[in-house]
Structure 1
Amino acid sequence: MGIFPPCSSSETLGKLLGTVCGKIRDEPATEETKIKGTIVLMKKNVMDVTDLGASLLDRFYEVFGKGVSLQLISAVHGDPDKGNRGKLGKEAYLEDWVPKLTSLSAQDHATFNIEFPWDESFGVPGAFIIRNQHRNQFYLKTVTLEDVPEHGQLHFVCNSWIYPQHRYKYDRVFFTNKAYLPSDTPEPLRIYREEELTNLRGNSSGMLKEWDRVYDYAYYNDLGSPEKGKEFARPVIGGSKEYPYPRRGRTGRRPNKKDPDSESRLFLLSLNIYVPRDEKFSQVKFSDFIGYALKSMGQIMVPEIKSIFDKTINEFDTFQDVLNLYEGGIKLPEGHTLDKIREYIPGELLKELIRSDGEQLLKLPMPDVIKENKTAWRTDEEFGREMLAGVNPVLVRRLQEFPPTSKLDPQVYGNQNSTITREHIEKYMNGLTVDEAIEKHKLFILDHHDALMTFLRRINTTTTKTYASRTILLLQDDGTLKPIAIELSLPHEEGDLHGPISEVFTPSEHGAENCIWQLAKAYAAVNDSGYHQLICHWLNTHAVIEPFIIATNRQLSVLHPIYKLLQPHFRDTMHINAQARQILINAGGVLERTVFPARYAMEMSSAVYKNWNFTEQGLPEDLIKRGMVVQDPSQPHGLKLVIEDYPYAVDGLEIWYAIEAWVKEYSRFYYPTDDMVQGDTELQKWWTEVREEGHGDLKDEQWWPKMQTRDELINACTIIIWVASALHAAVNFGQYAYAGYLPNRPTVSRRFLPKPGTSEFEELESNPELAFLKTITAQLQTVIGVSLIEILSRHSTDEIYLGQRDTPDWTADKEPKEAFKQFSAALVEIETRILERNNDKGLRNRTGPVNVPYTFLYPNTSDYSRQSGLNVRGIPNSISI
């Protein structure tokens, strides 16, 4: 392999080889009819300038006539000698491969010309075969044929990596952008359609290589490293009643030598974990991803080096210490020069970390929650508001019984019902009784009791020291939520059958009681942070969508209209999930180091998945289940929010119904009757596989739609698109805005509440700021956690948002294209209404005391600049980060 980019000498060689190639391929002029075409692709050497050797070798292959060839496949006439599969045209070659030096920019594609010999008896093409005789792969984006007789222009949307032909055991086939149900497929294309799906399913054996295009299932058996000892062993998640879970993509790596039920792991920092090549990040996004990761490594290293000189290693002593992460970076300690720091940081990395003034080390971006006011996050109003408009607005529910009850088995866990009494809360209820407040839909709860209690005994044997929590809130007349009681519970010392040991805390504004109230809110925030990351974010978006991606590629042809509908919403998800298994959710990974369940994180996620219900993932059903809406025929969709100023729900319902309307228009074009849904063989196999394989641990649940009607199809597709786009945006892109300042959303608590008469309690009374910081996440965990969510909260440069497609020619069918335009226009109108609501000062939950407008469900469809980075607006099409 070469190590230098193409230079003037290679350019001269390219021109020379191009001349030779042209002479070798020159043929006598004939009157043969030809169809002209254009091919848009990206050469591998565009991204990898170290591959000059292979690039030059490809040029020599061109000299001898072995380049990139295409053969058209007739959609009209079959070859009776080959099972009536579509008749093949003559091979045609890309022109000017050799002299054309494509840009080294990772986002640039090159356009090549091609001419196909044409026979009038061939009929309209419906597909083509492409063969790559080069030594390098390339990315094929589109192929367009001009002036096809009896048809006109013909588009092929490819978006696929083409490896050298010797890597495949079959021909690479691409179809036109026309959608067909299986029964409507032109007969000459039918066998190509079926063979392509067979190739994508693979044979469920062997280790998969980067050029393999296999979509298959596996359990989460690749998280542990038992060869390192018991501390790094993890149970297999998925495939059992004890640990049910959605399936992940298979890699086929060899079994772990210590535990044959587990899969061996790659080197920790390896980025080469297998996913089908077309599911990997684009080079633009991958470059961004690596760049952010390197920046985060610097952010982690610098504060830790600073702590070497600190009086309390790995501790924040004051809130100002935390703010120093953002305000001007970290000042070099007095008496220590850059030479001292160089002992700890490599020179090249140090250049990236030091500002131009030479004094301040790299600082973290300022989180939105403290941009305008450094203390507003501590108010009770902001604490309640973030349950409606923060990073995790999907859990708060209306309280419909008092006291709150537990669903845990009393024969195993004793009486786990709440100990909060009317006396605890009625003095904070503006003259209302509990019964009146429940009747008037005024009481709400954030309940983190049951999910945590079954794990708490084990969790608290680690460095974590925390409680299960219930938080009761009262809806105020101004539409805000006020916390009025927090119950903190621990397992009973004499055993679970004795029930929990619980204590109830209520608001106080003065003295030690206020400090205790602030700590009680912090424990509730710790629970919400961990549950958000493990369940609301990872499980309920990333993990549950992956089986749909696998099943879609295995059972729905690229010609299938539902494939064309869903495929944009699967972009990059398998790749980011694979990276998560490699460095985030694995044993000893970043998530276990920074979130309170520690080594029990994935077990807890599995336990919650037992109660996962596909139909309840749709926003209206979710709101109904949580009691956040009531039936009201006077409303446009028959539902009325019980909290009118609930930004996530208000914006979310508009997005939901826009998606639903789009899916309805699209689906009914291809399925005029319910019978057509029932008779669609690919669709029925797809849905069966989703249930029985992808979510096989829950396959017997009766809530699965039967997929017998158009309404069931429309609802299922709407849910999938909602989860992959809007729901993920709502729980992901606000992470840095709110949790980037970790005191607002701590992820770990390291000690229990201090008891009166102890030195810890005396410290709390004399220095409540220090006591708070000693309780929540430590410095190293803070910087690691904040650096991680900075990466996760960023929009990539090449993001494609809801209401956008990467090409205007994604389908040849006019009616679906028109329906999509209407969908995009509807999203633009929603953007306008969101901005209007955010400017309405009467809607206090839209911005809150911290003055952060709610834009996590702002579609960004109209913004074709596609802003990247820590931009808190925009709904990407897919779970792409």
Structure 2
Amino acid sequence: MSNDYKVTIFIEGNVYSLSLYKSLNITLKGTKNKSEPTSYSNWNLPFFGKNVSIKFTVKCSDDLGHLVNIKLDKYWSFPFQKPWYHEKVVVVSKLGTVYTFPIHHSISEDKEHFFREGKAMLPQKETITEVISLREKELNNQKEIYGWKAFIAGMPHCLKAEVLPLDETFSLYKDVQLLIKSYVMQNWKEDSFFGSQFLNGLNPMMIRRIESLPDKFPVKNHMVFPDGNDTLGSEMEKGNIFLCDYSILDGVEANTINDKQQYLTAPLVLLHKNHNDEMMPIAIQLKQKPGEDNPIFLPSDSELDWLLAKLYVRSADFNLHELNSHLLRTHLLAEVFAVALKRNLPRVHPVFKILIRHTRYTLQINLNARQSLISENGVFTKFTASGGNGMVTILERSLSNLTYKSLCIPDDIKERGLEDVKNFHYRDDGLKLWDIMHSFVKDTLSYYYKDDSDVENDKELQEWIQEIFEHGFLMMQVFLQSSGIPQKFKTKQELFKFVTMVMFTCSAQHAAVNSGQLDFYGWMPNGPSTMEEPPPTKKNTVDEATILKTLPDMETIKSFAETKCLFSPQISLPDFKRKYFTENIPCENILNFQKNLRKLSKKIQKRNEGLDLPYTYLDPEKVENSVSI
């Protein structure tokens, strides 16, 4: 009796990668038996089209039982052809049982490739010896491919590779244009715009509500409330006083650019939420230690004194934003999450299936950054105040101050006392996104983890979090700091929160600190990469010539304007074209997740219609689902 199986191979690619001859063998393996190898090729594929399929029959004399895996091998191709990317394989038995094998892998070499049937499975639930062995073999192979190394001593580790695995690469380039938004050009001098950027600009991570002034910032009532209607004490009691403290930059060795010494300040910025709910700067001190040579600049000072003080703040914010909020807290951590995921969780693991889409192209963009941006001759190293030795110092200090709470937006907003600040779109959109993500993660992982013991007994999961801690955060022990990052999972709730944090960091948080760079930094005075003169030690010494002499020179500006950057085709949060789950309930959760994301997107777009400066960076339809640019 014949036991034929109808096989469909789904191929992702284009005419250039499909048109020349390629072939593979497929072997079906079931609980009772396995098929003979059957060859298939792309010879009869349509010449045009991006996503195509190959259909054929695998003939078997015996019943294979329940299909558990497939093997692809005997790869052959015309020389110098692009890899053959397989999306999935669908097999239908004689009785109509459908088996789906997610592949999502480029095949370009003649070796055995094993793929499991799509149902996600925790390691402790496995019962078939051969399948357990294949699971271990997959992880051992991944650990050989995805090794660790230290790019900068004391920093989170990165991938040990000069040439990336095929599926981690992209090769599209674009020029970074100076897309100067008219609003930024027209309003960069305005105090209201200056203050609003601490909430809805590129770096909403600095501002916090305060109940008392630090001793190092001796602001007096008459300085900031000269009319006497308000006082610092009364406004702090009302929750209207905020501080941005750039102490991480204190004493950092500033760069030398074109043989000229550069300058980087460590300012303190006092902000007041006024009666119109505007966040207004009311005092700026450019160095941490108070003294006669460190004046406190005020809006009542001369226009140019006050403007120059704000320019030093914008330059300090640029440097700390790029190294701390952007590079460390998104790019470097995302790479730790990505490498640990590939090394410790097999494709069949439910956490892998959730997070793999949030690691796409991260290794490529980070490798490019290490080669062209933060390398010895990289653009950032050569043309910013914090380039060179300063960069290492800032990264070390930033890592020592990093906490788990600061990576989880609900905890971070609460800890900084920002729950009720009006017109705070980063917070409003970010919290909604976090909740939507957490709900999806909880509903999906609860399908596999029935109780806390399932989490504790998942060896692969525990090794994953342990590697993240060891290669991302263990070096913090040098600073005798505890980040609060978990080293193991004891409960489902701990797991749900951590997976949500990884998803949020690699998508929404990166979008918040990355996507607006051309908008806010395209107009150089709003984000000078360096300052070429020391900060003023006295008031009433600034004129227009002083400001022009202090801002970056044309060669520095031009170097950033001509920067090339890698980018990937935009894949937004609601995009699930690559399907990793096959069970009904997780697939239904994905549909609900997409629905909630699109609903939030519409609300954000409607709100933005009424804003002079729309906040679009956390619109789910615009958020890249991974750190890929």
TM-score, normalization by structure 1: 0.66
- The counterpart of 1:437, out of the listed 232, 235, 240, is 235
Structure-to-structure mapping, 1:255-654, within 5 angstroms: 273-281=162-170, 286-287=171-172, 289=173, 292=174, 295=175, 364=177, 366-368=179-181, 370=182, 374-402=185-213, 404-405=214-215, 417-427=216-226, 431-448=229-246, 450-456=247-253, 463-489=261-287, 501-508=293-300, 513-599=302-388, 600-629=390-419, 641=420, 643-654=421-432
Residue by residue over 1:453-486, the C-alpha shift from the partner in whole angstroms, topping out at 9 and shown as x without a partner, is 1315777996312322111110011111111111
Residue by residue over 1:115-167, the C-alpha shift from the partner in whole angstroms, topping out at 9 and shown as x without a partner, is 212344211222211111334452322233343245623222212121221xx
Going from structure 1 to structure 2, the CA distance change for 1:529 and 1:374 (only over 3 Å counts) comes to closer
**Partner of 1:322 in structure 2?**
none
> Using the alignment, how far apart are the partners of 1:812 and 1:185 within structure 2?
18
Going from structure 1 to structure 2, the CA distance change for 1:584 and 1:757 (only over 3 Å counts) comes to closer
Q: Match of 2:7, as an amino acid? A: G
Conservation of the 8 A alpha-carbon contact between 1:660 and 1:714: yes
- The counterpart of 2:550, out of the listed 767, 775, 787, is 775
Conservation of the 8 A alpha-carbon contact between 2:267 and 2:288: no
**Partner of 1:173 in structure 2?**
114
Q: Is 1:746–2:528 an aligned residue pair?
A: yes
> Using the alignment, how far apart are the partners of 1:587 and 1:696 within structure 2?
26
> Using the alignment, how far apart are the partners of 1:693 and 1:463 within structure 2?
35
**Partner of 2:24 in structure 1?**
68
> Using the alignment, how far apart are the partners of 1:137 and 1:124 within structure 2?
34
Task: State the shift of 1:423 in Å.
Answer: 3.5
> Using the alignment, how far apart are the partners of 2:139 and 2:292 within structure 1?
54
Conservation of the 8 A alpha-carbon contact between 2:155 and 2:472: no
> Using the alignment, how far apart are the partners of 2:224 and 2:583 within structure 1?
60
**Partner of 1:852 in structure 2?**
613
Conservation of the 8 A alpha-carbon contact between 1:691 and 1:698: no
> Using the alignment, how far apart are the partners of 2:184 and 2:168 within structure 1?
42
**Partner of 1:330 in structure 2?**
none
Q: Match of 2:219, as an amino acid? A: I
The alignment partner of 1:479 has SS state of coil
For CA contacts below 8 A with separation 6 or more, give which structure has more relative contact order: 2
Task: State the shift of 1:811 in Å.
Answer: 1.2
**Partner of 1:676 in structure 2?**
454
> Using the alignment, how far apart are the partners of 1:589 and 1:373 within structure 2?
28
> Using the alignment, how far apart are the partners of 2:17 and 2:307 within structure 1?
51
> Using the alignment, how far apart are the partners of 1:676 and 1:533 within structure 2?
40
The alignment partner of 1:274 has SS state of coil
Task: State the shift of 1:717 in Å.
Answer: 0.5
Conservation of the 8 A alpha-carbon contact between 1:484 and 1:506: yes
> Using the alignment, how far apart are the partners of 2:230 and 2:453 within structure 1?
55
Conservation of the 8 A alpha-carbon contact between 1:37 and 1:143: no
- The counterpart of 1:160, out of the listed 105, 127, 130, is 105
**Partner of 1:328 in structure 2?**
none
Q: Is 1:98–2:47 an aligned residue pair?
A: no
**Partner of 2:577 in structure 1?**
806
Task: State the shift of 1:751 in Å.
Answer: 0.9
Task: State the shift of 1:806 in Å.
Answer: 2.1
Conservation of the 8 A alpha-carbon contact between 1:139 and 1:161: yes
Identical residues among aligned pairs (%): 25
> Using the alignment, how far apart are the partners of 1:145 and 1:782 within structure 2?
54
> Using the alignment, how far apart are the partners of 2:221 and 2:493 within structure 1?
45
> Using the alignment, how far apart are the partners of 2:18 and 2:372 within structure 1?
25
Conservation of the 8 A alpha-carbon contact between 2:123 and 2:459: yes
> Using the alignment, how far apart are the partners of 1:694 and 1:216 within structure 2?
14
Conservation of the 8 A alpha-carbon contact between 1:473 and 1:482: yes
The alignment partner of 1:68 has SS state of strand
Task: State the shift of 1:186 in Å.
Answer: 4.5
Conservation of the 8 A alpha-carbon contact between 1:489 and 1:501: no
**Partner of 2:503 in structure 1?**
721
The alignment partner of 2:10 has SS state of strand
Q: Match of 1:160, as an amino acid? A: H
Residue by residue over 1:577-623, the C-alpha shift from the partner in whole angstroms, topping out at 9 and shown as x without a partner, is 01100000111211122322121213321221112223430001111
Going from structure 1 to structure 2, the CA distance change for 1:647 and 1:742 (only over 3 Å counts) comes to same
Q: Is 1:35–2:5 an aligned residue pair?
A: yes
> Using the alignment, how far apart are the partners of 1:490 and 1:183 within structure 2?
55
The alignment partner of 1:502 has SS state of coil
Q: Match of 1:250, as an amino acid? A: K
- The counterpart of 2:88, out of the listed 140, 143, 149, is 143
> Using the alignment, how far apart are the partners of 2:127 and 2:63 within structure 1?
17
Task: State the shift of 1:276 in Å.
Answer: 2.4
The alignment partner of 2:98 has SS state of strand
Q: Is 1:183–2:93 an aligned residue pair?
A: no
Structure 2: gaps of 5 or more residues: none
Q: Match of 1:129, as an amino acid? A: K
Residue by residue over 1:370-412, the C-alpha shift from the partner in whole angstroms, topping out at 9 and shown as x without a partner, is 2x5742221000000111111222221112221x25xxxxxxx
> Using the alignment, how far apart are the partners of 1:151 and 1:395 within structure 2?
59
**Partner of 1:248 in structure 2?**
158
> Using the alignment, how far apart are the partners of 1:743 and 1:47 within structure 2?
46
Q: Is 1:704–2:493 an aligned residue pair?
A: no
**Partner of 1:23 in structure 2?**
none
- The counterpart of 1:114, out of the listed 31, 45, 56, is 56
The alignment partner of 1:94 has SS state of strand
> Using the alignment, how far apart are the partners of 2:366 and 2:16 within structure 1?
27
My pick for the range that moved more, 526-535 or 772-781, is 772-781
Q: Match of 1:658, as an amino acid? A: I
> Using the alignment, how far apart are the partners of 1:44 and 1:173 within structure 2?
25
**Partner of 1:837 in structure 2?**
607
> Using the alignment, how far apart are the partners of 1:662 and 1:100 within structure 2?
38
When Rg is computed on C-alpha atoms for both structures, the one with the higher figure is 1
The alignment partner of 1:90 has SS state of coil
> Using the alignment, how far apart are the partners of 1:278 and 1:787 within structure 2?
29
Going from structure 1 to structure 2, the CA distance change for 1:676 and 1:380 (only over 3 Å counts) comes to same
Going from structure 1 to structure 2, the CA distance change for 1:712 and 1:782 (only over 3 Å counts) comes to same
Going from structure 1 to structure 2, the CA distance change for 1:693 and 1:111 (only over 3 Å counts) comes to same
Conservation of the 8 A alpha-carbon contact between 1:147 and 1:153: yes
**Partner of 2:587 in structure 1?**
817
> Using the alignment, how far apart are the partners of 1:157 and 1:529 within structure 2?
43
**Partner of 2:434 in structure 1?**
656
The alignment partner of 1:180 has SS state of coil
Q: Match of 2:550, as an amino acid? A: T
**Partner of 1:877 in structure 2?**
625
Going from structure 1 to structure 2, the CA distance change for 1:711 and 1:100 (only over 3 Å counts) comes to closer
The alignment partner of 1:36 has SS state of strand
Conservation of the 8 A alpha-carbon contact between 1:456 and 1:490: no
> Using the alignment, how far apart are the partners of 1:702 and 1:163 within structure 2?
42
Going from structure 1 to structure 2, the CA distance change for 1:485 and 1:176 (only over 3 Å counts) comes to same
CA RMSD, 1 decimal? 2.8
> Using the alignment, how far apart are the partners of 2:539 and 2:353 within structure 1?
67
Task: State the shift of 1:668 in Å.
Answer: 1.1
